């Protein structure tokens, strides 16, 4: 893993394409906005190859069989059988096959038990959907053409629209309200606005916020590259024309896939079995010669050698492979009844031996959906009027309807506000943009028009001159502004995203609305959103801790929201470390942090994998639970990789165990399953 950081150096990969303005980009990279001709495309495909990320192919059935057949214990038994074939058959006057047959029956039994369970589990797990779409729209010979994704090449012009999956790494050339979902790569649930120039998403008074004085990019992750679209992500809203800058293994997704090793490191259970096998082999190497030397003077060479081999057989636990395979197979069957697919039988034992569980936040600790939790007036008191105005704004806006708008509408419906939809009609709209950071709708109830605006607290405060408290309108004062900022900050510290709401009524004479009409408005209050923790999460974490399992959160989400969720589910949040901090530390420095910190935020995929690797190398049995592309390296580095059936393909391929329900309670079942197996072993030995 030492070279992973270099392989996915974001600045190195995208500096040239992202820093240049559109015209210079077209000139320097010789990109034609009308696209490639068929002949040019064919020539470039021959040069760069097909646009296919090379991922590990599913293993053939005989690979599973051979791995089961030549497990450490089976290898010892087969070696003993080979010796017996020489002593009891070849050298003996009357051949005796009894011992050989017994050993072969034991080997075949354990092999078939393990083979059928693992093969069937992996066969079920391999029924996956394609990670990216099979076709995409490009400009070829100046016309829009639908082609297979693998035929897309560098220099192609890709046409994107809502719902499109991005087939390669793209530089945005033209965009109209383009929002892209990057959660599968970054772990962040919010849609990201993509723009033509790197600084276009920011306030005009910011000068190149993404670049430093020396020309290097001022970024922590791909989330900061607003004019680059990444392979494997998808368009939430808007449209765009983009130039293909990287394909196949050269893309960011390809680099992440490239960092995933071809095989997992050995688990604690596998290491234990190997150590026992090595111990038995050492005993044999020492005992067989000693026994042979002591007996050869009194008996014939054949008799002495046969007796020495018999001693070797006696010290070998012949039934152990069968017991292991049968117990683990039964465990896998019991787990399947609890909606769990076990891809590797060995992982059941490691599953129950986990002492460190690393998990993402969204969907594991939380419900994976944003809900409106508070609607407050200017003094922080609950007021349904705030919810009503936010509802009208969210319901009638026609642009990007994100999680926030859905949360507002859902809460309003829960509070029987559908009747307002019959009363109010949409007149006009002032769409959201990142420079204003607010959105306005103009609605009418038949008698009067009303402009309702929601947005970031600072931006809303900047356009308000009055406040409305319980129906009474008064001028806004510095004290009121300071109090609003204080309440907003307090909610932020609790992990809530805060949005302010304001309105204006004196707009009867305005027929065409624009941004300039967002002034002299009346502040109503604000609304707070939270992705709530699962009801079962706190109890599950407490039980995991009581079972000796330390729960750590590794997420790409921001600090405030993560801290709030972790507090609610009982994870110590006194110390929280960001990915940019550990990037500067050596492995020893990160190890010191791991001893005292349970929460790491704004992590890249490689930073997650590094933490898991260091925990594993520190003699911990590490379980990792994740479902995105960004989780795949960590799933590989862990002792037990745990994913879900709704995960992306590469995550499911990298996992040892696949859950049909994403819930920490399943891990407790794994602990209990291991205890059952241990009890069986103790009864036998």
What is the biggest distance separating any 2 CA atoms in the chain, rounded to whole angstroms? 120
Instruction: Verify that 306 and 333 share a domain, yes or no.
Output: no
Q: Identify which of 328, 418, 324, 407 has the alpha carbon closest to the alpha carbon of residue 373.
A: 407
Q: Report the C-alpha gap between 667 and 364 in whole angstroms.
A: 12
Residue 640 has pLDDT above 60, yes or no: yes
483: burial class by Cβ within 10 Å (0-12, 13-18, 19+)? middle
- Give the mean model confidence (pLDDT) for residues 450-458: 91
Least confident of 192-196, 250-254, 629-633: 629-633
pLDDT above 80: residue 328: no
284 shares a domain with 359: no
When pLDDT is averaged across residues 503-511 and rounded to a whole number, the result is: 86
Domain-terminating residue out of 482, 506, 530 = 530
Q: What CATH number is given to the structural domain containing 606? A: 3.40.50.1000
- What pLDDT does 671 receive? 62
Give 180's pLDDT tier (boundaries 50, 70, 90). confident
Residue 578 vs residue 200, higher pLDDT: 578
- Say yes or no: 362 and 377 in one domain: no
Report the predicted TM-score, pTM, of the whole model to 2 decimal places. Answer: 0.52
pLDDT of residue 611: 92
* pLDDT at residue number 674: 55
In a shared domain, residues 82 and 141:
no
Three-state secondary structure call for residue 458:
helix
Spatial distance between the Cα atoms of 634 and 552, rounded to a whole number of angstroms: 13
36-40, 88-92, 579-583: the lowest-pLDDT one: 88-92
Looking at the fold, whether 182 and 35 belong to one and the same domain comes out as yes
In this structure, of 163-167, 251-255, 348-352, the range with the lowest mean pLDDT score is 348-352
- Give how many domains the chain has, as a whole number: 4
pLDDT at 188: 60
pLDDT digits (tens, 9 = 90+) for 13-36: 888 888 888 899 999 899 999 999
Residue 678 has pLDDT above 50, yes or no: no
Tell me the pairing of strands 371-377 and 521-530.
antiparallel
Whether residues 158 and 43 fall in one domain:
yes
The pLDDT of 375-382, averaged and rounded, is: 92
* 385 and 519 fall within a common domain: yes
Model confidence over 240-279: pLDDT tens digits? 899 999 998 888 888 776 655 545 556 555 666 667 667 7
Domain boundary among 509, 530, 551: 530
Instruction: For residue 394, give every residue at least 6 positions away whose Cβ sits within 8 Å of its Cβ, in sequence order, or none.
Output: 401, 404, 405, 408, 409, 454
For residue 54, the model assigns a pLDDT of: 66
Of 170-174, 426-430, 546-550, 650-654, give the lowest mean pLDDT range.
Answer: 650-654
Do 553 and 521 lie in a common domain?
Answer: no
Shared-domain flag, residues 670 and 540: yes
CB atoms within 10 A of CB 349: 25
Is 464 within 8 Å of 502 (Cβ atoms)?
A: yes
Segment 158-169 mean pLDDT: 82
Q: pLDDT value at position 59?
A: 64
Return the minimum-mean-pLDDT range out of 152-156, 204-208, 366-370.
Answer: 204-208
What is the tens place of the pLDDT at every residue in 296-315? Answer: 777 777 777 777 777 776 66
Instruction: Looking at the structure, tell me whether residues 28 and 159 fall in a common domain.
Output: yes
Q: Is 405 a catalytic residue?
A: no
Q: Which residue has the higher pLDDT, 353 or 421?
A: 421
Choose the catalytic residue: 360, 405, 517, 627: 360
Share of the chain above pLDDT 90, in %: 21
Structural domain for 108, as ranges = 61-128+264-319
> Token pair of 70, please?
């030549």
Higher pLDDT, 391 or 399: 391
Question: Last residue of some domain: 479, 495, 530?
Answer: 530
* CA gap 348, 486 in Å, rounded: 50
At 149, which CATH number? Answer: 2.70.150.10
Which residues, including other chains, have CB under 8 Å from residue 562's CB and lie 6 or more apart?
Answer: 361, 495, 553, 555, 573, 576, 599, 601
CATH number at residue 461: 3.40.1110.10
Average pLDDT of the residues in 631-648: 76
Whether 412 and 455 share a structural domain: yes
SS3 per-residue string spanning 600-634: EECCCHHHHHHHHHHHHHCCCCEEEECCCHHHHHH
Q: Based on the domain organization, do 361 and 484 belong to the same domain?
A: no
């Amino acid at each position: 893993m030492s070279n992973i950081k270099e392989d996915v150096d974001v600045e190195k990969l995208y500096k040239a394409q992202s820093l240049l303005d559109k015209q210079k980009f077209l000139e320097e990279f010789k990109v034609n906005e009308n696209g490639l001709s068929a002949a040019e495309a064919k020539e470039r495909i021959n040069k760069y190859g097909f646009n296919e990320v090379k991922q590990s192919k599913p293993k053939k059935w005989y690979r599973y069989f051979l791995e089961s057949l030549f497990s450490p214990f089976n290898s010892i038994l087969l070696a003993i059988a080979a010796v017996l074939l020489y002593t009891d058959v070849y050298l003996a006057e009357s051949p005796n096959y009894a011992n050989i047959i017994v050993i072969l029956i034991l080997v075949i039994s354990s092999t078939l038990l393990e083979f059928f369970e693992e093969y069937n589990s992996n066969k079920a797990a391999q029924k996956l959907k394609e990670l990216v779409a099979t076709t995409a729209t490009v400009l070829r010979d100046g016309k829009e053409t639908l082609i297979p994704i693998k035929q897309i090449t560098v220099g192609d012009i890709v046409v994107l629209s809502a719902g499109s999956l991005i087939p390669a790494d793209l530089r945005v050339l033209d965009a109209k309200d383009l929002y892209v979902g990057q959660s599968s790569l970054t772990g962040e649930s919010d849609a990201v606005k993509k723009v033509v120039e790197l600084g276009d998403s920011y306030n005009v008074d910011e000068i190149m916020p993404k670049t430093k004085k020396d020309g290097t990019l001022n970024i922590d992750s791909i989330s900061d590259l607003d004019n680059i679209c990444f392979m494997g992500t998808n368009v939430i809203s808007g449209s765009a024309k983009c130039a293909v800058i990287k394909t196949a293994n050269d893309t960011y997704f390809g680099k992440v896939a490239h960092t995933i090793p071809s095989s997992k490191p050995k688990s604690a259970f596998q290491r234990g079995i190997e150590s026992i096998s090595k111990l038995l082999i050492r005993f044999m190497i020492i005992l067989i010669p000693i026994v042979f030397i002591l007996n050869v003077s009194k008996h014939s060479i054949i008799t002495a050698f046969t007796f020495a081999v018999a001693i070797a057989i006696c010290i070998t636990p012949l039934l152990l492979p069968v017991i292991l395979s049968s117990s683990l197979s039964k465990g896998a069957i019991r787990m399947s009844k609890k909606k769990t697919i076990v891809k590797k039988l060995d992982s059941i034992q490691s599953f129950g031996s986990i002492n460190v569980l690393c998990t993402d936040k969204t969907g594991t600790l939380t419900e994976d959906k944003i809900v409106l939790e508070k609607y407050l007036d200017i003094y922080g008191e609950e007021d349904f009027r705030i919810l009503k105005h936010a509802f009208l704004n969210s319901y009638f806006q026609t642009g990007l309807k994100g999680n926030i708008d859905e949360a507002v509408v859902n809460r309003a419906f829960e509070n029987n506000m559908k009747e307002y939809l019959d009363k109010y009609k949409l007149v006009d709209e002032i769409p959201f943009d990142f420079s204003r950071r607010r959105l306005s709708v103009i609605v009418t109830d038949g008698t009067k028009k009303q402009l309702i605006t929601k947005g970031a607290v600072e931006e809303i405060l900047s356009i308000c001159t009055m406040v409305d408290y319980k129906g009474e309108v008064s001028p806004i004062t510095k004290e009121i502004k300071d109090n609003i900022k204080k309440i907003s900050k307090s909610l932020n510290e609790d992990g809530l995203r805060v949005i302010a709401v304001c309105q204006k009524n004196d707009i009867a004479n305005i027929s065409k609305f624009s941004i300039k009409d967002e002034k002299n408005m009346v502040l109503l209050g604000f609304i707070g959103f939270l992705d709530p923790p699962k009801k079962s999460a706190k109890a599950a974490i407490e039980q995991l801790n009581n079972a000796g399992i330390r729960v750590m959160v590794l997420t790409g989400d921001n600090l405030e929201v993560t801290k709030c969720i972790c507090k609610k589910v009982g994870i110590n949040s006194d110390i929280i470390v960001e990915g940019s901090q550990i990037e500067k530390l050596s492995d020893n420095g990160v190890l010191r942090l791991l001893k005292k910190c349970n929460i790491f935020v704004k992590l890249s995929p490689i930073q997650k994998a590094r933490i898991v690797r260091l925990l594993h190398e520190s003699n911990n049995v590490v379980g990792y639970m994740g479902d995105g592309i960004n989780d795949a390296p960590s799933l590989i580095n862990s002792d037990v990789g745990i994913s879900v059936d709704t995960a992306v393909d590469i995550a499911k391929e990298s996992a040892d165990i696949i859950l049909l329900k994403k819930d920490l309670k399943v891990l407790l079942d794994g602990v209990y399953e291991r205890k059952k197996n241990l009890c069986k072993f103790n009864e036998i030995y």
